[in-house]
Amino acid sequence: MKVGDQYFRTIWLKAGDECFVQLIDQRFLPHHFVIENVSTVEQMVTAIREMHVRGAGLIGASAGYGMYLAALQAADTAATTGDFDRDLAEAAAQLKAARPTAVNLSWAVECQLKSIAAGKTPREKVALALHTARLIADEDAEHCRMIGQHGLDLIQRIARKKAGKRVNVLTHCNAGWLAFVDYGSATAPIYAAHDSGLPVHVWVAETRPRNQGSKLTAWELGEHGVPHTVIADSAGGHLMQHGEVDLVIVGTDRTTYTGDVANKIGTYLKALAAKDNNVPFYVALPSSSFDWKMEDGLKEIPIEERGTEEVKHADGWLEGRQVEVRITPERSPAANYGFDVTPRHLVTGLITERGVCEANEKSIFSLFPEHAP
Ligand code: MRU
């Protein structure tokens, strides 16, 4: 994607030195564009846990590259005293434990373990790890590009009905190219619509407490020239009641094979408001975000609880530097639930790389029969 006059991938290998992975450190956006060099699996675990990188697809791609860095390290120590397979298993466990909700994390680590196991020597294993890391990232990009094409059909249909008036899409959190590789899931149809000349406008919900909407989605859309307006999280229902939202598209960190959707906290309330106002509510996801083992999202999906300082404080840009201020009484306790689960009956459809399906087992398996029991 274009930033200023340069093109960037969301995560990539350093040109000329494949021992370094480079990524955009999202903690400083939208104020400062910082590229981080990551050369060890420990650094990658920190980058995932501390949210230098975030978003389901990117967490998966980062874990893929993290396993490659772990393989490089294990090959180094295996040459002297180490045990390659033990070191790799330890790295896999550390990566998996970095964040609990996005299923792409364990999916990518498992892909790597399976692929690396086919290598006979440490050298072969490193080569396989590199190949698989690239594959995970490239596949994420291609799947999101396809999601864009299928979602474009939905926006085109609405645009035809509105006869040239702008189509208003509401989104939550950041499920854009910063959260995946190169296109984004929820934003891919928006970018495709905008690039094809449709008059699309996005309501960007700020997404407290970390403000992925107002910081990241707004920045992405602005860089791409997509008309958008940042709103307070609680404004979505009001806009829907007044006919200002034509459809909602959100991402997901994990969706059960039965269609229950875990996404950033606040998604469920938007789905409720959409249902009450007959606004279509779509979830865009690559197949790597399906959990093929989980049946009941509310009971089974682990919901990350993060530090309370994220709720009690806010940060912003002041006179050339990032500053943090407390916004609650010092002694008030706070709680910080990172995600919620939107039950399938509130979801109009799932936009995947293979097309749009309903949020139920039958429809999901009809698109992905290889995962059917
Ligand atoms: O906690 P985050 O920022 O990693 O949250 C994940 C998300 O970006 C969202 O839940 C998103 O809407 C779906 S995953 C790209």
pLDDT in tens, 181-211: 988 999 999 999 999 999 999 999 999 999 9
Is the peptide bond preceding residue 329 cis, with omega within 30 degrees of 0?
Answer: no
Q: Which residues pair with 313 in a beta bridge?
A: 326
Alpha carbon distance 114, 128 (integer Å)? 10
- Percent of all residues in the chain with a pLDDT value above 90, rounded to a whole number: 94
Q: Are the beta carbons of 137 and 65 closer than 8 angstroms?
A: yes
Residue nearest to atom 8 of ligand 1 (CA): 55
Which of the four pLDDT bands, split at 50, 70 and 90, describes residue 5? confident
From the CA of 99, how far away is ligand 1's center (Å)?
11
What integer pLDDT is reported at residue 347 of this predicted model?
Answer: 98
- The whole-model pTM stands at 0.96
Q: To test ligand 1's pocket by mutation, which of 233, 263, 336 has the most ligand atoms within 8 angstroms of CB? A: 263
Is the CB of 251 inside a 6 Å radius of any atom of ligand 1?
A: yes
C-beta of 248 in contact with ligand 1 (< 6 A): no
Q: Is residue 174 lining ligand 1, measured as CB closer than 6 Å?
A: yes
Reduced to 3 states (helix: H, G, I; strand: E, B; else coil), residue 31 is: coil
Mutate to test the pocket of ligand 1, among 144, 170, 173, 267 (most ligand atoms within 8 A of CB): 173
Compute CA distances 227 → 57, 108, 283, whole Å.
25, 34, 21
pLDDT computed for residue 245 by the predictor: 98
Determine the 3-state secondary structure of 330 from DSSP. coil
CB atoms within 10 A of CB 245: 24
SS3 3: strand
- Return the active site residues: 253
Q: Which long-range contacts (CB under 8 A, 24 or more apart) does 364-367 make?
A: 364/257, 364/258, 364/259, 364/290, 365/257
Which runs of consecutive H residues, i.e. helices, occur in 37-83? 41-49, 56-78
Query: What is the average pLDDT score of the chain?
Result: 96
Contact 259, 37 (CB under 8 A): no
Quick one: pLDDT at residue 6?
Answer: 86
89-115 tens-digit pLDDT: 999 999 999 999 999 999 999 999 999
What's the 98 CA to ligand 1 centre distance in angstroms? 14
pLDDT at 81: 73
Distance 222 CA to ligand 1 centre (A): 19
**78, pLDDT greater than 90:** no
For residue 252, the CA-to-ligand 1 centroid distance in Å is 7
pLDDT tens for each residue of 268-302: 999 999 999 999 999 999 999 999 999 999 999 99
For the cut 90, the answer to whether the pLDDT of residue 80 exceeds it is no
Under DSSP, the state recorded for 14 is: P
Q: Which residues contact 131 (CB under 8 A, 6 or more apart)?
A: 115
What is the DSSP-derived secondary structure letter of residue 216?
I
Q: Could you tell me the sign of the dihedral formed by the alpha carbons of 188, 347, 103, 304, in that order?
A: positive
Distance CA 29, CA 142 (A): 25
User: What is the SS3 assignment for 189?
Assistant: helix
Looking at the chain, how many residues does it have?
Answer: 373
